[in-house]
Amino acid sequence: MDWLNDALRDNHYPGRGVLWCRTGDGNLLGAYFLTGRSPASQARTLRRTVGGDLIVAPSDARERDHLRHYIAARQSEGWMVFGNGAQVSTVADRLTSGQAPVLALDELDYEPDPPIFTPRLTVIAGTREGGRAWFGAARRGAGNRATTNRLTLHVSDLAPGEGVLMMTYHSDGQEIATGSPFMEVRTTADNPTDLLDELWSVLPPELRIAAAAFGPGGLTSADIRQASEARA
């Protein structure tokens, strides 16, 4: 099991990532982060809406597009969903209609953005389920196979300091490929602020855009870090 900071430090371009972990104080936390290379990707913010969602929005409202801008996290009384694209809303709607988490994560597809075909990563965290979470990843098949590979991972009973991480990409500094399906990691964080500090400190400074940490059902008090604020 890798340390979280090592897993991120060894990745020169993680893209977007989702994390579910239990910190040293015993609390369960979710985290979402964004990095980007292009000016359009860099020109984004992560913020709360009046309704309590977390959204990835363009710095200039006239520049909106459906792949870069989306609801990143949404919650109800019984669950919280977060991830890297429009599928977050789809999964949330399915849960509201009564579907089980495994079914709500089914039939999703990777992003239509050749040549890398970004995976869609989604986490469903139960707010009354004793810490259970379901990860979903929709990934393009290998080689010339365009079929979507769909991974569903059920995580429970995390010990303090343990977590599961998914990232869209992995880069050695030269080549970029889709990230590993998932990584089990350890964190030194004792609380939400520590976790956000740990994430932020090891994301590539020239690529980081935003990151947030939040507890189950706690999107309205999510701790958010923005690169744009540091540059202002």
Question: Do 33 and 178 touch, CB atoms closer than 8 A?
Answer: no
Write phi, then psi, for 52 (nearest 5 degrees).
100, 0
Residue 44 phi/psi, 5° resolution?
-135, 155
For residue 129, what pLDDT is reported?
58
Give the pairing of strands 183-186 and 2-3. parallel
- Per-residue confidence band for 62, with pLDDT thresholds at 50, 70 and 90: low
Closest CA to 82 of 20, 170, 154, 8: 20
Which sign does the torsion angle of CA 20, 164, 201, 33 carry? Answer: negative
Residue entry with tokens 């399915």: 94
Q: Say how many domains are in the chain.
A: 1
Bridge partners, 71 (sequence order): 55
Q: What span, in angstroms and rounded, lies between the C-alpha atoms of 74 and 89?
A: 8
What is the value of pTM for the model shown?
0.94
| Mean per-residue pLDDT of the chain | 91
pLDDT given at position 217: 83
What are 183-203's pLDDT values in tens digits? 999 999 988 889 999 999 999
- With residue 39 as reference, give the H or E element that holds it: helix 39-42
Q: Could you tell me the pLDDT band of residue 231, with boundaries at 50, 70 and 90?
A: very low
Q: Is the omega angle on the peptide bond into residue 160 within 30 degrees of 0, that is, cis? A: no
* Whether the predicted pLDDT of 23 surpasses 80: yes
Range name among 53-62, 107-116, 133-142, 212-221 with the lowest pLDDT average = 53-62
Phi, psi angle pair for 7, to nearest 5°: -60, -40
- Is it true that the peptide bond before 205 is cis, omega within 30 degrees of 0? no
Calculate mean pLDDT across residues 45-54: 92
Asked whether 35 and 201 are in contact (CB, 8 A), the reply is no
* Placement of tokens 């690169």 in the chain: 227
Predicted confidence at residue 232, as pLDDT, reads 41
HEC-encoded secondary structure of 80-127: EEEECCCHHHHHHHHHHCCCCHHHHCCCCCCCCCCCCCCCEEEEEEEC
The structure tokens listed for 158 are: 């995390």
According to the model, what pLDDT value does residue 63 have? Answer: 65
Instruction: Say what the pLDDT of residue 126 is.
Output: 86
pLDDT tens profile 145-186 = 899 999 999 999 999 999 999 999 999 989 999 999 999 999
CATH number at residue 157: 3.60.20.20
pLDDT in tens, 211-225: 999 988 888 889 999
Q: What is the mean pLDDT of residues 61-73?
A: 80
Domain range enclosing 180: 2-231
What DSSP designation does 159 have?
Answer: P
